[in-house]
Structure 1
Amino acid sequence: MSFEFAERDLVHIRNVLGYLERSADFVRQTEAGAIVSLGYWRARVRAILVLPRLPFHIEKQAKELLMRLDRLESVRDRPASLIG
């Protein structure tokens, strides 16, 4: 994977996470017990982080996305009565 492709992939993942963070559908899916595969997005970010000689700015972006994924998982794991 080239660094250029990695950067484009991070932009795509950032957009997906932005949608999930502001999506009422994400909350409804969480309340209904539906699974939003945050693990899939986490695996894509981790695949970028293991690239050899990864430039610092790409590593920083990837780690920030992992933190956002952590926050989304904490929302998903909360009882439905606490979401909102």
Structure 2
Amino acid sequence: MSYDFAEKDLAHIRHVLSHLEQSAAGVRILETGPMASLDYWQARIQAILVMPMLSTHAQKQAKELLGRLERLKDSRRCAAGS
């Protein structure tokens, strides 16, 4: 995976997470399917993080996205427990 692709992939993942966060905040029914699989997005981010010589900027972005994913997972757990 090239570093340019990694940057583009992080931007794509950020967009997807924004959509999923808005869905959760709007109290819409939890989405299903591949796009809504938080484990899938986490794996994609982790694949970027293990790239050798990844820029500090990209590492920071990836770690921020992992934090957002964890918050989204927490909100889904809370919604499922309600």
Q: Provide the TM-score with structure 1 as the length reference.
A: 0.82
- Report the count of equivalent residues: 79
In structure 2, distance between residues paired with 1:16 and 1:79: 20
Shift of 1:59: 0.2
Q: Pairwise CA RMSD of aligned residues?
A: 2.2
Structure 1 gaps of 5+ residues are: none
Aligned to 2:75: 75
Q: Which has the larger radius of gyration?
A: 1
2:47 alignment counterpart: 47
* TM-score, normalised relative to structure 2: 0.84
- Residues 16 and 26 from structure 1, CA distance in 2 versus in 1: closer, same or farther, beyond 3 angstroms? farther
- Structure 2's unaligned 5+ residue stretches are none
Hey, what does 2:9 align to over in structure 1? 9
Distance 1:52 1:29 in 2: 36
Q: Is the 8 A contact 1:10 1:45 kept in 2?
A: yes
- The one-letter amino acid paired with 1:68 is R
